[in-house]
Amino acid sequence: KNGITYVQKVNQFSDFSKEEFDNYFKKLLPISHDLKTKHVVPLKTHLDDNKIKPKEDVLSYPEHRDYREWDILLPPKDQGMCGSCWAFASVANYEALFAKKYAILPISFSEQQVVDCSSDNFGCDGGHPFLSFLYFLNNGVCFGDQYEYKAHDDFFCLSYRCGYKGRLKKIGNAYPYELIMALNEVGPITVNVGVSDEFVLYSGGIFEGPCSPELNHSVLLVGYGKVKKSLAFEDSHTNVDSNLIKKYKENIKENDDDFL
């Protein structure tokens, strides 16, 4: 009502103080631009020439794309009381692209392995999905049932116990105007967003509340739609599918490279 397009309700975070919520769920840590540019492959070099569209032709893609309608996504997982959104977003991205590539139902891979073993990140104290992807590139990632999630840090990395490990060949980067192209040609994408205090009670709908000026949370971008030009995400904090960010063309900066 009154023009509000999203729903808020009492949830497990309702009794949290601002400091408590920030400590658990705003744990995206910054990394250097030079580190990212050294290891990423631009989207246009990842695609065949006939799939690359100039900026002005991106809107020629379908008005709707939602990978929640495909069989490549697991239900959103719960990160628990651990600042590991970065691990969940990167693992969910790997799961979706793995299922899409091999045309199989999605398989769970291990967030706990990334929390314990990705030494460039800081476990439950925060991290960045790019560093998770860099870890996948060099070490592979275990199945979820081989290395189960505990929602806390372990003192030791136990990935040596795993049998098969999924592998990653390269890390791609899509600039904001390429998001629609990346979603159509590649699949779901890990993105970093600025979550405000109003998001604590988010339950559903298109979130048009204020955004934080700082990127502080990682989610999986799974689609877009023409309704208020919304983007669709899966989030390990709310543990729900959601439609967030109004008017994405106006809300993202042309040179913002915090899209993986």
Task: Say which DSSP state 74 is in.
Answer: P
Domain annotation covers residue 182: yes
* Angle at the Cα of 31 from the Cα atoms of 246 and 164, rounded to 5 degrees: 95
Domain annotation covers residue 194: yes
Q: What share of the chain has pLDDT > 70, as a percent?
A: 83
Domain annotation covers residue 258: no
Backbone angles phi, psi at 171, to 5 degrees: -110, 125
CATH number at residue 127: 3.90.70.10
Higher model confidence: residue 4 or residue 87?
A: 87
Per the listing, tokens 């009492």 go with: 10
Domain annotation covers residue 257: no
Question: For the segment 92-140, what is each residue's pLDDT rounded down to a tens digit?
Answer: 999 999 999 999 999 999 999 999 999 999 999 999 999 999 999 999 9
Full domain range(s) for residue 127: 6-251
Cα 9 from Cα 7, distance rounded (Å): 7
Domain annotation covers residue 259: no
The pLDDT assigned to 38 comes to: 74
3-state percent breakdown (helix, strand, coil) of the chain, nearest 5: 35, 20, 45
Per-residue b or e along 141-179, where b marks 16 or more CB atoms closer than 10 Å to that residue's CB: bbbbebbebeeeeeeeeebeebeebbebeebbbbbbebb
Average pLDDT, the chain: 82
Cβ-Cβ contacts under 8 Å for 37 (sequence gap 6 or more): 257
Domain annotation covers residue 66: yes
Number of domains making up the chain: 1
Whether 162 and 137 have beta carbons less than 8 Å apart is answered as no
The pLDDT assigned to 253 comes to: 38
Could you tell me if residue 3 is left (phi over 0), alpha (psi between -120 and 50 degrees) or otherwise beta? left
Q: With 0-12 CB in 10 A as exposed, 13-18 as middle and 19+ as buried, what is 209?
A: middle
Give the pTM. Answer: 0.85
Higher model confidence: residue 42 or residue 73?
A: 73
For 43, what's the count of Cα atoms within 13 Å in the CB-facing half-sphere? 24
For 252, what's the count of Cα atoms within 13 Å in the CB-facing half-sphere? 23
Cα 164 from Cα 115, distance rounded (Å): 19
Domain annotation covers residue 256: no
Domain annotation covers residue 213: yes
Question: For the segment 213-230, what is each residue's pLDDT rounded down to a tens digit?
Answer: 889 999 999 998 876 567
Higher model confidence: residue 157 or residue 54?
A: 157
- 193-to-78, 161, 232, 250, 259 alpha-carbon distances in Å: 18, 34, 13, 14, 9
Which residue numbers are catalytic?
Answer: 85, 217
In a 3-state reduction of DSSP, which class is residue 195?
Answer: coil
